[in-house]
């Protein structure tokens, strides 16, 4: 491994419509998935109680939803995408 952060926090390449808000939301979504994975693993190993794991995931979900709303991802139905030109 050349970079420990790449191993522990991998990010996949983005293949969607390239707009700044989409790229930021994609990064937030990947971070959400990684954190949920860690929480699930800790709960499975008995290190975190199920109720605490649920609350942590629920809080992460609310943060992800808030970021989607603040970035206005998918809220511009009349704006043309690059694919529609």
Q: Confirm whether pTM is higher than 0.85.
A: no
Which residues, 6+ apart, have CB-to-CB distance to 44 below 8 Å? Answer: none
**Are the beta carbons of 39 and 54 closer than 8 angstroms?**
no
pLDDT tens column, 26-65: 999 999 999 999 999 999 999 999 999 999 999 999 999 9
Work out the widest C-alpha separation in the chain, in whole angstroms. Answer: 53
Tokens of 79: 């704006």
Question: Are 53 and 39 within 8 A, CB to CB?
Answer: yes
34 CB neighbour count, 10 Å cutoff: 14
- pLDDT, the chain, mean: 85
pLDDT digits 0-9 by tens, 27-38: 999 999 999 999
Distance (Å, whole) CA 27 – CA 30: 5
């Amino acid at each position: 491994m050349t970079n420990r952060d790449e191993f522990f926090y991998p990010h996949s390449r983005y293949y969607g419509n390239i707009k700044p808000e989409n790229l930021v939301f994609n990064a937030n979504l990947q971070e959400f998935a990684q954190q949920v994975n860690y929480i699930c693993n800790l709960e499975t190993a008995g290190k975190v109680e199920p109720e605490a794991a649920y609350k942590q995931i629920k809080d992460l979900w609310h943060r992800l939803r808030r970021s989607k709303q603040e970035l206005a991802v998918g809220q511009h139905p009349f704006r043309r995408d690059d694919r529609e030109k």
